[in-house]
A and B are shown apart, each in its own frame.
Chain A
Amino acid sequence: NAGVMQNPRHLVRRRGQEARLRCSPMKGHSHVYWYRQLPEEGLKFMVYLQKENIIDESGMPKERFSAEFPKEGPSILRIQQVVRGDSAAYFCASSPLDLGEKLFFGSGTQLSVL
């Protein structure tokens, strides 16, 4: 029973490039959440998605960041025109339909912007 799968584990981008982070939720989970973690900090909520719907994006920066969870395939967090301040660990979590609070996290993608 595979857990939440994220890839890539490490992603290096130069300033101005695009970053695409992928997340496959646990089997049977239809809710996906993205969090960002800066060094020595706790996780910060970014966005909550269900299949083909963005439910809550209150933690997403207004520009350059977008997320989707298509009917088929993984959830994608997309960062356009990356800047050094985007360097962080990005974690995806999923939950079953009825347990929105008990989130199961992936191992994260470490984004480094040069």
Chain B
Amino acid sequence: GESVGLHLPTLSVQEGDNSIINCAYSNSASDYFIWYKQESGKGPQFIIDIRSNMDKRQGQRVTVLLNKTVKHLSLQIAATQPGDSAVYFCAETFYGGSQGNLIFGKGTKLSVKP
């Protein structure tokens, strides 16, 4: 089965609220995780990444949290804007895996209501 999956296929939030998108992974050997944003008709856009030696990493309005104990990854978007509407994918790779061979989850669609 899929090594990476998402708890919620769709998420609807009000503009200005914070969004949390969750992701579960099953391969304990995974040591690098990435969040991508994909807008309709476009390719995935890199948002933020995190290595397994970290629990948290912050970017501009985004934070990724990694809980290795329960193999859980989350993406937090602060003050969600209409431009954040997209499908969000988590991806993983692991030591010993092929470089660039990312395992993607199925995605969560984020809809931002004005």
Q: Which residues of A contact B (CB under 8 A)?
A: 4, 6, 31, 33, 40-45, 48, 55-56, 58-59, 91, 93, 95, 100-108
Contact = CB atoms under 8 A, between A and B. Distances in A.
Interface residues on B, range: 20 to 34
Contacts of B49: 101-102
Given A48-B99, A101-B93, A103-B100, A4 B43 contact: yes
Contact of B100 (A41, A44, A48): A48
Which of A40, A43, A58 has the most B CB atoms < 10 Å from its CB? A43
Contacts of B46: 102-104
A79 to B, nearest CB: 19
Nearest to A105: B43
Interface in B82-110: 89, 91, 93, 98-107
A108 B43 contact: yes
Closest 10 CB pairs of A and B: A42-B104, A105-B43, A100-B99, A56-B98, A33-B100, A43-B104, A45-B101, A48-B100, A105-B44, A42-B106
A31 B104 contact: no
A55 B99 contact: yes
Given A101-B49, A106-B43, A42 B99 contact: no
Contacts of A42: 4, 89, 91, 104-107
Contact of B44 (A31, A48, A58, A91): A91
Which of B41, B100, B105 has the most A CB atoms < 10 Å from its CB? B100
Nearest to B6: A42
Contacts of A41: 106-107
A94 to B, nearest CB: 9
Which of B49, B89, B98, B104 has the most A CB atoms < 10 Å from its CB? B98
Contacts of A101: 32, 34, 49, 93, 99-100, 102
A76 to B, nearest CB: 18
A33 B98 CA distance: 11
A58 B98 CA distance: 9
B101 A59 contact: yes
Contact of B101 (A6, A58, A102, A104): A58
A107 B34 contact: no
